[in-house]
Amino acid sequence: MNPILTVTLNPTVDFSTTTDAVEPDRKLRSTSPDTDPGGGGINVSRAITILGGHSTAFVAVGGPMGDKLVHLLTDAGIGLAPFPAPGETRLSFSVHDKASGHQYRFVTPGPDWPLKSVNVALSRIARAAPRGGIVVLSGSQPPGVPADFPARLAARIRRAGARLVLDTSGKPLHHLLKAATSPVYLLRMDGEEAEEMAGHALPNRADSADFAQHLVERRVAEMVIVARGADGSVLATGEGRWHAAAAKVEVVSKTGAGDSFVAAFVLALSRGESPERALQKGAAAASSAVTTAATQLCRAADVRRLTPHCTLSRV
């Protein structure tokens, strides 16, 4: 199995609770909160552990909340490579409203990063990157981290002999697609982001596959995945295009579905499985994750059970 390093520059401590109904101007009695370590790369590491794999989490942490995050990760059995953040680790809070079934999520921005911290982080990640392994950069960037950070990291990772998996959005994704100077190993985006990048609607699987293939041909990434929500995910590589259907399940919360997908996909690749088989396992993990509440991720037994139901086909 090839080693995996996940990177989270803007982690969070996730608190989640439930109340009978969310109403203004009154005290809302809630259940005892669940507390989880959060942030894209951290969630990928958590899901890899759930699925029986191992990864090391490179995490920027600071202040008392950062100490709490380290304890949560240690308790979860996740290997940790801490990096001193230039401020306090952020806190996120979610409330499930039993009356409406809605979930309310409150997310703070995280500390501002000076350029010096950005450059030191790039060097540290490159040194921590496992030669021949996979580095996963996932989640939001902290304030102050420039949009070209993923592209710069991709170049450093390649020189270190590792492969970069990128799950990002917004300005960093725009920059990567415009620059296309240092192709990443795998780029994943959701349907809305893909349509924004393409400049037009992608109503069916073939449209998503065409766009993903276009990015591969432009050498933006060796492989591109476009998530299509309830319609599953599309993968394009230099060898072909595939679609993996989402399993038909009851949706409780979509939180963590993308991170669970990336975890299962990367874990399968690290074990030597083909990209299309990894796509199917990723779809099963995402399908499992949407059946769990709040900040919970996929479940290993569900992934094994749902994988045959995530039909794999060429596009």
Other beta carbons within 10 angstroms of residue 111's beta carbon come to 21
Task: Reply yes or no on whether 259 is catalytic.
Answer: yes
Radius of gyration of the chain (CA): 19
Angle between helices 257-270 and 275-289 (to 10 degrees): 150
Count of beta carbons in the 10 Å neighbourhood of residue 198: 18
Query: DSSP 3-state assignment of 157?
Result: helix
How many whole angstroms separate alpha carbon 103 and alpha carbon 94? 7
Angle 25-26-29 from CA coordinates, rounded to 5°: 145
Catalytic residue among 14, 36, 190, 259: 259
Sheet holding 233-236, edge to edge: 79-84, 56-61, 4-8, 134-138, 163-167, 184-190, 221-227, 233-236, 241-244, 312-314
Query: Could you list the active site residues?
Result: 259
